[in-house]
Structure 1
Amino acid sequence: MALTAPVASNNPSGAFERLLTIMDDLRMNCPWDKKQTLESLRHLTIEETYELSDAILSGDMTEIKKELGDIMLHLVFYSHIASETNDFNVTDVLNSICDKLINRHPHIYSDTHVNDEADVKRNWEQIKLKEGNKSVLGGVPASLPALVKASRIQEKARGVGFDWENKDQVWAKVEEELQEFKEEFNIADETAIDKEKAEGEFGDLLFSLINYARFIDINPEDALEKTNRKFIKRFQYLEQKAKEHGKNLHDMSLTEMDVFWEEAKKV
């Protein structure tokens, strides 16, 4: 016998209750939903997060709304699974984040004074240490992609005052790291390089560039992804044009391909 689907609501609390009801129904009656565990959902949640990221970069508000819904479903799903073992439930999750936000915003909910965003971030990190974090960097997930991790490490260090004073100093560091890398990997010299050492210098160079990006308010992850998308678009234009001319990229010279590449820049 089919269940009666809960009706849509025009207010947040009603809509959230509708989702909770549907989650209850699925967990009890759907063979797939009944089988899921925290571990089985994990990789799906990661996938949904990347899909949300894609939608945001594309500026597609309809897709953003859809992907936010998918992620919200996952959060409710995790909470429901945990409630079955009496570890916590969705109410505990919501109250926990509310308590955390109140505690970490004493300039809103207490008498702490702040002058700017930097003060807010500094207070946030100090409060986290009082809550039991052993290190300012302890909250940076080990599994974060390296580019994102570098940004988070630098932001957190800045939160406690460990930072350059101005962007000129940071750029000087970029140039210093570039020179050190060039010394390890001289393009005019065919001598075999110490790969491990060169890799270390290249990592230092990337880290310093990410630091400079932070000083000029550029998100390096977003910047690189936009460049990735630009390259993909131009390369696919190159592929299409080669096909239209009855050519195979493997058989074309770099000069021939460059003609279509320059065309792609104008599209």
Structure 2
Amino acid sequence: MTTSPPPSPDITPLIAIMARLRDPERGCSWDVQQSFETIAPYTIEEAYEVADAIERKDMAGLCDELGDLLLQTIFHARMAEEAGHFAFQDVIDAICAKMIRRHPHIFGEGEETPGWEAIKAAERTARKDGDGSALAGVASALPALLRAEKLQKRAARTGFDWPDSEGVIAKIGEELEEVRAAASAPEREEEIGDLLFAVVNLARHMKVDPEQALRQANRKFERRFRSMEAQAGEDFAALSLDAKEELWQKAKGKERAGASG
């Protein structure tokens, strides 16, 4: 006895809702006025909210945020269809073709095949823009920390990289001295950027995800700062810096005691 495959999810209601919202005569005035450029920040924000729900292990929230992120895809596809570029079905067809193309060992004949990165590199070379750089395709709209890491990884594949982390640590010291020596606001901005880029390089060499490391540092700072506020009550802002430092040390001590308990 054979079983029938489960029914495919029906996305047509969502597509129809977006088409109605974008209708110039009967739609929502806000939705009608939007463009790729105005919607892009919302798309990025929704992706971060998906990541936040995952980090909080909030599965109900994740379901909701994934819907919001899917809506962003539908929104962009609808605007593209209105302009005659492509439709949502083209988005589906393109990603299906890409996943099959990048997994020939799964969907092909099982012969020895180039790796994922080699296939992606061949795709970049074949693009109409003709950009054959090893850095081609690293989106400029990525968060700066993530983009720095991706640019460094791409460069490293060509052999342009420090042989070990000691060279990167020395580079960080050099960049820090250049920050100290900077004499103007533009110079300081440039040198601090170089310093941050070098720190990302160190994280990469030490196989640490810099984004995750910074997120953890943010959470730790927020947790300790909130503990300081709780200890001081409403008078926190009026305390001297020395008093605040004492509260900070107490917050650290409590945290460490809790971790070892």
| Structure 1 residue 253, shift from structure 2 partner | 3.9
Partner letter of residue 93 of structure 1?
V
> How many residues are matched?
244
Letter aligned with residue 62 of structure 1? A
Residue 210 (structure 1) aligned with residue 208 (structure 2): no
Q: Residues of 2 paired with 1:113 and 1:64: CA distance? A: 38
Higher relative contact order (CA 8 A, sep 6+): 1
Is residue 248 of structure 1 aligned with residue 236 of structure 2?
A: yes
Of the candidates 51, 68, 71, which is equivalent to residue 70 of structure 1?
Answer: 68
Where do 1:74-89 residues align within 5 Å?
74-89=72-87
Match of 1:179? 173
What's 2:117 paired with?
A: 121
Take 2:30 and 2:219, find their aligned partners in 1: how far apart are those partners?
35
Q: Say if 1:177 and 1:208, in contact at 8 Å, map to a contact too.
A: yes
Paired with 1:170 and 1:206, the residues of 2 have a C-alpha distance of 18
- How much is the aligned-residue C-alpha RMSD, in angstroms? 3.2
Cα distance in 2 for partners of 1:199, 1:148 equals: 19
Q: Which residue of 1 aligns with 2:255?
A: 265
**Letter matched to residue 255 of structure 2:** K
Aligned partner of 2:11: which letter?
Answer: F
Change (3 A) 1:183 1:41: closer
Q: Single out whichever of 28-37 and 144-153 deviates more from structure 2.
A: 28-37
After TM superposition, the score normalised by the length of structure 2 is: 0.76
Which amino acid in structure 2 is aligned with residue 262 of structure 1? K
Aligned partner of residue 141 in structure 1, secondary structure: coil
The CA distance in 2 between the partners of 1:227 and 1:199, in whole Å, is 22
| Equivalent position of 1:156 in the other structure | 154
* CA offset digits 1:37-96 (Å, max 9, x no partner): 324322322222222232233232222221111010111122122222332111111112
Q: What is aligned with 1:31?
A: 28
- Equivalent position of 1:13 in the other structure: 8
- Match runs of 1:132-147 below 5 Å: 132=128, 133-134=130-131, 135-147=133-145
Q: CA deviation at 1:12?
A: 6.5
Identity of counterpart residues, as a percentage?
32
Partner amino acid, structure 2, of 1:57 = E
- Show structure 2 runs of 5+ residues with no match: 1-5
**Aligned position for 2:3:** none
What runs of 5+ residues in structure 1 fail to find an aligned partner? 1-10, 187-191
Contact kept, 8 Å, 2:176 with 2:195, in 1: the verdict is no
- Does the 8 A contact of 2:200 with 2:210 survive in 1? yes
